[in-house]
Every structure is written in structure tokens, then in C-alpha cells.
């Protein structure tokens, strides 16, 4: 006498195993550490730009050029850019994974997120390191006043 | 107007000098608004109101019983012990996850309808009954049993009071799913292990007699594991047993962290 097998009423959720990856742990830790660093970097940045010296009035093309002439401010701003962008991107990544319900929607949001983050990080880094306030051979009418004031 | 006779507070006949009016229980009218869903008839759940006369000592579960037994016998819900131990009757009462058997009607605002819905994030089977399988699946995945090596001792596995106290809070779980189904991360796609599974993993990870802690930590290090917790504290608030769920999750995170470095 054969017994009819009763199928399981419902197949459970299929959870994809990430298999011993430390990525989530690292991301969690990164959020905390970069947060602490960013508090110092951002408030330092705000103080130097807006309060120290002549205050907010001093900010112009020349002021930025002056700051980026020093490796100290180049590294400060680069750190701020990378830490903040990765911090924000990771935050957005968690928001997308929490709120996007369809896998396709989730994928598209993630593509947009990673592409825009990458663009800003690359462009920002380029600007910090290749910033040339007075490019040689440029039309003098478009240059800042201090370039021609010899 | 019909007058209903209240059931006596005690089945024991009290002598006249002991009984009196002091113990009389106030009664009140209240509306219970229940999310009804019959899969054979309904496309989606709908609200239905029931007017019942209840007493100051009654709980939401008593109101549900009254409706099922006296008004509409087709109302379906789970309950077993009816005393907050079995964890069968977790439901969303006035928008919060509670056990119907531990929620007194007089503690709710009876001037407005009391809403009763099934817990969120799990597939509804009928009325207030949900399919608990996804919940228990993640519970099974964390291996909720003692894992040891070597020969079995001939006597009990002894443990100091301090060692026992380490995980005392998480032994109180009754698997009612109030926490997991209150978690907004779980609502999204049901992939997250959920607070209940983590609490039950915590119970063994921090047990000095257990040797499977590493295995469980590895399971919870998954991208759907503890790192999806956003510390919104919904679970701690929902737990009818008063377990500090979010704290337990944080302790598992910390254990993973110290293991990695």
C-alpha cells in the first residue's frame, strides 16, 4: 500500500547565504568610526572657512586656491570627501535595502546610488589634486584678479 | 433594554459576612474592530465592528471569545493557555503588538473602537491567524538547542549563578512573534532573521555550557543577520515578556565584533 506524500504547504523564504563575509561587520564599524572622524573634520572645516580670520566674507576663489596650496588642507578635504561620501553611500544602501521591496527596484536604486557616488568621489578627488588657480596660457579675462596682479 | 447578569467573580460560595458590594465589577460597552479575512470569500482584509458589553476584569481575549462564542462563530484566532505563557495570541491591538490575553480592556481607550489585526509581515491565513512558518524557519536556522562536545556527563551540567544570570533575560522568550512582526526591517521582505531568532541565539551563545556559539555567530554574521538591525527598539517595546531585545541584539553584535578582532 503506497502512501501519498503530502507536499509541504509552502516553501519557506529562501535566504541567500553570504558565507562568512565580514563585509556587513566592516560596514557597521565604518559607520561609527567615520562618524566620529567626520564630526571633527566637518566642524574644523566650518570653523576655518566661516569663523576664523575674516569670517564668511573671506570665501572666494582665491581663498580656496590658497587652502589647497597646502598639502594639509588637501588631505583634510580629501579625507572629508571620501569619509562622508562612503558614509552617506552606505547609509543610502541600508535605506534602499530596507525600503525597496522588489528586487528589480532595489537593483536600479543601487545602480543609481553607486554610479553617482563614484562620480562625485572621482571628480572631487580630481579637483582637490589638480586644482590650478592660474592655468598657464589661459585667456587673462577669465582668470582671477590675483593671477594677473604682478 | 436587556440586562446581562455578570458572571460571579468567584465560583466559590462566600459566607455572607465575607461577600459584599465591594467586589462588584464595573461593566462597560465597547466596540471591537477586527480585521476579518476569509481567503475563500475575500480579496483582501476588511474591518468589522462588534459591540460587546465587557467587564473591568476582562482582557481583549475575553472580548474575542465573547464575539466568537456569542456573535460570530466564524471568527478565527489562535490561543492556547490564555495566560501569557504559550505565546499563541500575539496580535496588533490598537496598532501595537501585544498578547490578547495580557491586555486588559480597561487599560485601552474604550470610548473609541479597539482595533485588532493580525501581526504584520507574515502571510495572513484567516482573520487573525498568520502563517508562522517563516518565523520558525529563522528560529530553526540559529540551532536553538544545546551543542556540546565530548562524552555526555553522568550528572547535570552545572553552572554558576553568575553564568546563568548572563543569559537569563533571553530565556524568557515564548516565541509569540510580537517582536519580529513589529520590526520594520522584517516587514520589508521577511529576509531578516528577526529579533526573536537573535534572542534565542543569544540564549545559547552566552550560555557557558554551550559550545556552538561560534556556529551561531557565523550564522548571524549574515547580511540578513544582526547587521540589519537598525535599533528602532520596536521589538523591545513589543515584547510581552519584557525582554530587552535590542540590548540582546547589541550584545550579539559586540560578540561578533570581539571575535573578529
User: Cβ-count burial of B248 within 10 angstroms (0-12 exposed, 13-18 middle, 19+ buried)?
Assistant: buried
Give the one of A17, A22, A97 whose C-beta lies nearest to B260's C-beta.
A22
The residues with which B47 forms a beta bridge, in sequence order, are B35
Query: How many residues are given for chain A?
Result: 150
pLDDT digits (tens, 9 = 90+) for B215-226: 999 999 988 899
pLDDT digits (tens, 9 = 90+) for A14-56: 565 656 678 999 999 999 999 999 999 999 999 998 888 888 8
Say yes or no to pLDDT of B53 above 50: yes
Residue B16 backbone dihedrals phi, psi, to 5 degrees: -60, -35
Q: Answer whether B195's CB lies under 8 Å from B107's CB.
A: no
| CATH 3.30.2290.10 corresponds to the domain A25-133 | no
Judged by CB atoms closer than 8 Å, whether chains meet at B227 and A15 is answered as no
CATH for B27-130 is: 3.10.20.30
- Output the CA–CA distances (angstroms, integers) from residue A16 to A6, A13, A44, A46, B223, in the order listed: 27, 9, 43, 44, 9
Residues of A in contact with B190 (CB under 8 A): 13
Of A79-93, A130-144, B206-220, give the lowest mean pLDDT range. Answer: A130-144
Q: Answer whether B203's CB lies under 8 Å from B115's CB.
A: no
Rounded to an integer, what distance in angstroms lies between the CA atom of residue A37 and that of residue A56? Answer: 24
C-alpha cell at B245: 531585545
Rounded to an integer, what distance in angstroms lies between the CA atom of residue B230 and that of residue B246? Answer: 9
Tell me the nearest-neighbour CA distance from B125 into chain A, angstroms: 12
Domain extents in chain B: 27-130, 133-148+161-260
- Res. A8 pLDDT band, cuts 50 70 90: very low
The residues with which A132 forms a beta bridge, in sequence order, are none
Write out the CATH class of domain B133-148+161-260. Answer: mainly alpha
Domain extents in chain A: 25-133
Tell me the nearest-neighbour CA distance from B212 into chain A, angstroms: 16
Amino acid at each position: 500500500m503506497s502512501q501519498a506524500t503530502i507536499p509541504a504547504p509552502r516553501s519557506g523564504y529562501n535566504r541567500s547565504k553570504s558565507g562568512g563575509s565580514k563585509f556587513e561587520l566592516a560596514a557597521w564599524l565604518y559607520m561609527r568610526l567615520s562618524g566620529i572622524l567626520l564630526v571633527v573634520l566637518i566642524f574644523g572645516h566650518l570653523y576655518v572657512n566661516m569663523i576664523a580670520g575674516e569670517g564668511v566674507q573671506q570665501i572666494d576663489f582665491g581663498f580656496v586656491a590658497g587652502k589647497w596650496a597646502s598639502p594639509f588642507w588637501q588631505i583634510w578635504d580629501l579625507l572629508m570627501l571620501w569619509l562622508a561620501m562612503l558614509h552617506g553611500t552606505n547609509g543610502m544602501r541600508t535605506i534602499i535595502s530596507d525600503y525597496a521591496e522588489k528586487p528589480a527596484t532595489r537593483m536600479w536604486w543601487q545602480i543609481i546610488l553607486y554610479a553617482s557616488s563614484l562620480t562625485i568621489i572621482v571628480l572631487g578627488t580630481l579637483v582637490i589634486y589638480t586644482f590650478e588657480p592660474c592655468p598657464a596660457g589661459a585667456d587673462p579675462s577669465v582668470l582671477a584678479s590675483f593671477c594677473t596682479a604682478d | 433594554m436587556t440586562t446581562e447578569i455578570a458572571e460571579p467573580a468567584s465560583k466559590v460560595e462566600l459566607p455572607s459576612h465575607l461577600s459584599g458590594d465591594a467586589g462588584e465589577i464595573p461593566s462597560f460597552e465597547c466596540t471591537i474592530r477586527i480585521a476579518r479575512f476569509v481567503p475563500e470569500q475575500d480579496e483582501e482584509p476588511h474591518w468589522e465592528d462588534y459591540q460587546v458589553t465587557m467587564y473591568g476584569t476582562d482582557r481583549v481575549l475575553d472580548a474575542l471569545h465573547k464575539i466568537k462564542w456569542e456573535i460570530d462563530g466564524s471568527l478565527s484566532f489562535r490561543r492556547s493557555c490564555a495566560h501569557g505563557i504559550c505565546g499563541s495570541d500575539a496580535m496588533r491591538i490598537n496598532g501595537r503588538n501585544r498578547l490578547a490575553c495580557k491586555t486588559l480592556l480597561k487599560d485601552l481607550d474604550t470610548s473609541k473602537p479597539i482595533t485588532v489585526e493580525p501581526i504584520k509581515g507574515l502571510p495572513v491565513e484567516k482573520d487573525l491567524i498568520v502563517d508562522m512558518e517563516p518565523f520558525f524557519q529563522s528560529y530553526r536556522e540559529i540551532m536553538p538547542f544545546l551543542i556540546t562536545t565530548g562524552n555526555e556527563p553522568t550528572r547535570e551540567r552545572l553552572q554558576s549563578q553568575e553564568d546563568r544570570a548572563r543569559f537569563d533575560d533571553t530565556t524568557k522568550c515564548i516565541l509569540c512573534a510580537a517582536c519580529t512582526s513589529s520590526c520594520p526591517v522584517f516587514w520589508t521582505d521577511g529576509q531578516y532573521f528577526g529579533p526573536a531568532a537573535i534572542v534565542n541565539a543569544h540564549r545559547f551563545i552566552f550560555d557557558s555550557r554551550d559550545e556552538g556559539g561560534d556556529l551561531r555567530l557565523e550564522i548571524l554574521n549574515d547580511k540578513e543577520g544582526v547587521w540589519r538591525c537598525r535599533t528602532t527598539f520596536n521589538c523591545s517595546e513589543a515584547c510581552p515578556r519584557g525582554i530587552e531585545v535590542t540590548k540582546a541584539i547589541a550584545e550579539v553584535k559586540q560578540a561578533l565584533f570581539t571575535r573578529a578582532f
